[in-house]
Amino acid sequence: MTTLSEPQPKQHEEFDTRLRVVLMLEIRDGAQQRFLDVYEQLRHQVAAVPGHVSDQLCQSINDPRQWLITSEWKDQETFLQWVDSPAHRKMVQPMHGCVSDSFRSLRYAVLRETSAAGSTGTRAPMEVPPGLPRSAPAGHVGPPKADPGPDGVIRHALTFTVKPGSESKVARILAGYASPKAEVDEHTRLRRTSLFMHGNRVVRAVEVVGDLGDALRHVAMQPEVRAVEEEINPYLEEARQLGDPMAARAFFAKAALPAKHQAIASSPASARLHRHAVLYPVRPGRGQAVAELLFDHDNLATADPTGPVAAAIVFQREDTVVRLVDLRVPAEAEPAAALGVAGEQEAAELTRLLDLGPRSDLRTVAGLSAFLAARAMSPVTDRSSQDN
């Protein structure tokens, strides 16, 4: 007889990697039939996605405006790869006009399962160490996870491109915004925002104490920030609608530039640090290797309390690699430290991974200085919490 109270795991059961995704929606008045038509088209497309197992569409028996879509996926990695892809963003676009702002997206690992045939239990609950962010909150529009650095600060970056020729206009707009309130809630606080440009690429790096998702949503809702975002929208290479939650989620997913590696000096920072950012010209498919090489350098560099590097963060997504570094001296005085190059071996390896051109030589001071001048990002604004 099958019971629900004490399901026991099967002996020698393989590790269960399945993911359950729950999407809670409120459909706009008058849009329910259109929503059903769109869903009927989408469900066949989603069923063909590798890793998709099944899905169900449910409607509330108490409120016909409330709908629930549940889906099961082979594993978390497969789902996240698909949901953050351009194909997914294009696929769900027809649904945007049907859904109100109050949607919730929740994700759960499958721990145990009970059916008429019996029960299975194959995965232990995931323990989250104190201080680490847990799964994405309801309505999450930012990155699903961000781990704090050695100093307990969460660092993340967003990147996007603007239309060539509009760079100076965009820089003026972004430099002139009014800072939002630093305090998000009793647990979350904006610590610092640094914004850089290189050519038509914009990188905004944020530092948060607390919950990154709460901080990003707080910033996105501030009138002064929304006004600036609306002002730069006509200059973007790819249009965005931050007022639409689903479109905002798509933008944050595509623009996310996670902090893959962080190295922070254990000794107290000096009163005056120089913040610089470098955008690396990565050869196709070599982004992760570049990030790991820079991290190896930064671990050693920040261990020296008398050295030039006080902190370094490597942001990387695919072949977009940006290194944000706090130096105790100006970058021009220590181009090797600013670029993350410690000697000839590192210079040779970095040269192999980057597209430097035929005459670049990272083994010489002149070559390093020329590379720094070419790839350093221009600072647009840098504001710490005390400025807010």
Rounded to whole angstroms, how far apart are CA atoms 10 and 14? 9
The per-residue pLDDT string of the chain (388 residues; one tens digit each, 9 = 90 and over) reads 333 444 444 333 445 678 899 988 888 888 888 888 888 888 888 888 988 999 999 988 888 888 999 999 988 878 888 887 888 888 888 887 788 765 677 888 887 777 665 555 544 444 433 333 333 333 344 444 567 777 788 899 999 999 999 999 999 999 887 777 778 788 888 889 999 999 999 999 999 888 887 777 777 777 777 788 888 989 999 877 666 666 666 677 778 888 888 988 876 555 689 999 999 999 998 998 999 999 999 999 999 988 999 999 999 988 999 999 999 999 999 999 999 998 888 899 998 999 987 777 888 889 999 999 999 999 999 988 654 4
Q: Which amino acid is at 318?
A: E
Residues 62 and 195 in one domain: no
Contact present, 292 and 261 (Cβ < 8 Å) = yes
Of the three residues 112, 143, 165, the one that is the final residue of a domain is: 112
CB neighbours (10 Å) of residue 25?
23
The β-bridge partners of 236 are 162
Q: Are residues 185 and 235 in the same domain?
A: yes
Return the closest-CA partner of residue 171 out of 162, 180, 159. 162
Give every strand in the sheet of 19-26, ordered side by side: 52-59, 66-73, 19-26, 104-109
Tokens of 70: 């549940």
Residue 253 lies in a domain: yes
Separation of alpha carbons 308 and 265, rounded Å = 11
74 shares its domain with 160: no
d(CA 31, CA 235): 32
Whether 29 is covered by a domain: the verdict is: yes
- Verify that 24 and 82 share a domain, yes or no: yes
- Of 287, 350, 274, 344, nearest to 314 by C-alpha is 287
- Which of 55, 81, 112 corresponds to the end of one domain? 112
Does residue 380 share a domain with residue 236? yes
Shared domain for 179 and 277, answered yes or no, is yes
Do 163 and 72 reside in the same domain of the chain?
Answer: no
Q: Is residue 3 in some structural domain?
A: no
160 shares its domain with 244: yes
Same domain, 90 and 162: no
The answer as to whether 199 is a domain residue is yes
14 within a domain of the structure (yes/no): no
Count of domains forming the chain: 2
123 neighbors 110 (Cβ within 8 angstroms): yes
Return the CATH number at 65.
3.30.70.100
CA distance 69 to 209: 33
- 117 within domain boundaries: no
- Please check whether residues 304 and 357 belong to one and the same domain: yes
Quick one: 248 and 339 in the same domain?
Answer: yes
Domain of residue 297, CATH code: 3.30.70.1090
Judge if 164 and 276 occupy the same domain: yes
Please report whether residue 75 resides in a domain. Answer: yes
Domain for residue 238, yes or no? yes
Of the residues 84, 112, 140, the one at which a domain ends: 112
Residues spanned by the domain of 66: 19-112
